[in-house]
């Protein structure tokens, strides 16, 4: 299957198709198809065999597939960001936009800190590659921040629809009903009833544990949100005094790396948020500012 992929790609190359179709057409109208057509087929087979097995061509095909996959992943992440911003209340959208604006300011500060004499000289570490690194880092942070907002909001909605007091009341009621059953009762009907009450009690305890866990996670999301906001403000202030864009990007990456456990927690909360597990792809929030604006 792997080799077939490269051969198919080589065959679909526009220059190869022009040669193959042109050669085949010439052979058919030449009046000597029995001579020229086998030559065309032989040349095509040799070309496909050579190009399809060439390491550089295979690397190029793999790179194009990886690029297409990244674009698909980014498009899916952008669609998710749009959905999140549609579902978030206006106050939280404004909170996100305020942080996004702060990141845009941070990006501008980092660009201004570069030495103007080396902005376009192509020297290593200057120009577009560094800009891409900064944008990717900031987008990762904003994407994390937006998902934190949505996760906390989803948890708060879940907690509003559930009452710990009601669950605890149900537990006490089921415990009281269990006491009314005789442990030695041999009546099959009584045994079935007792089993139903026991199952309800187990379910109620599970609901209570789930509720308390949701409360803890909601608090955790709130703390992580505040942490990211403070980090972004700190980096903005740091950018004014420290003439090292690479240092700022490194700090952003450290923050993102330190939140691996938070990422896992958000993945575990899919049943509340509906968000799928997140890969490395993120929406281009700063490069395409309109891509995630609430419609």
What digits encode the pLDDT tens for the residues 178-188?
A: 888 766 567 77
Q: Which residue has the higher pLDDT, 232 or 157?
A: 157
Choose among 275, 241, 224: nearest CA to 80: 275
Percent of the chain with pLDDT over 70: 72
Q: Which residue has the higher pLDDT, 73 or 204?
A: 204
Read off the pTM. 0.62
d(CA 168, CA 218): 20
Please answer whether residues 151 and 266 qualify as being in contact, where contact means their C-beta atoms are separated by less than 8 angstroms: yes
Listed range (7-11, 175-179, 188-192) with the worst mean pLDDT: 7-11
What are the residue ranges spanned by the domains of the chain?
A: 2-52, 88-115+125-292
- Supply the pLDDT for residue 62: 67
Per-residue pLDDT reduced to its tens digit, 113-153: 554 444 444 444 444 444 555 677 778 888 888 989 999 99
- Supply the pLDDT for residue 134: 62
- Supply the pLDDT for residue 192: 85
Q: Is pLDDT of 277 > 60?
A: no
Mean pLDDT for the chain overall:
75
pLDDT-based confidence at residue 289 (cuts at 50, 70, 90): very low
Mean pLDDT of the 63-73 span: 54
Mean pLDDT of the 223-240 span: 80
Choose among 258, 252, 278: nearest CA to 135: 252
- Supply the pLDDT for residue 172: 92
Mean pLDDT of the 20-49 span: 75
pLDDT-based confidence at residue 191 (cuts at 50, 70, 90): confident
């Amino acid at each position: 299957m792997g080799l077939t992929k490269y051969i198919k790609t080589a065959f679909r190359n526009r220059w190869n198709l022009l040669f193959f179709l042109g050669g085949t057409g010439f052979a058919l109208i030449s009046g000597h198809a029995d001579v020229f057509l086998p030559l065309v087929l032989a040349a095509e087979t040799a070309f496909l065999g050579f190009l399809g097995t060439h390491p550089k061509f295979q690397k190029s095909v793999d790179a194009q597939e990886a690029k297409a996959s990244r674009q698909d992943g980014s498009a899916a992440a952008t669609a998710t960001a749009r959905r999140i911003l549609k579902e978030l209340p206006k106050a939280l959208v404004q909170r996100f936009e305020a942080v996004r604006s702060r990141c845009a300011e941070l990006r501008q500060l980092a660009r201004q800190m570069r030495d103007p004499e080396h902005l376009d000289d192509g020297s290593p570490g200057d120009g577009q590659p560094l800009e891409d690194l900064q944008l990717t880092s900031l987008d990762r942070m904003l994407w994390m921040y937006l998902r934190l907002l949505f996760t906390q909001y989803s948890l708060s909605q879940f907690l509003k629809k559930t009452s710990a007091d009601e669950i605890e009341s149900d537990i006490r009621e089921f415990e009281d009903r269990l006491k009314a059953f005789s442990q030695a009762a041999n009546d099959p009907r009584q045994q079935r009833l007792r089993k139903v009450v026991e199952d309800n009690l187990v379910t109620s305890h599970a609901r209570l544990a789930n509720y308390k866990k949701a409360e803890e996670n909601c608090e955790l999301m709130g703390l992580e949100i505040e942490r990211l906001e403070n980090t972004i403000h700190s980096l903005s202030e740091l950018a004014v005094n420290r003439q090292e864009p690479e240092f700022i990007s490194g700090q952003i990456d450290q923050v993102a790396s330190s939140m691996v456990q938070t990422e896992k927690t958000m993945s575990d909360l899919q049943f509340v948020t509906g968000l799928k597990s997140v890969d490395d792809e993120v929406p281009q929030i700063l490069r395409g500012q309109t891509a995630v604006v609430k419609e």
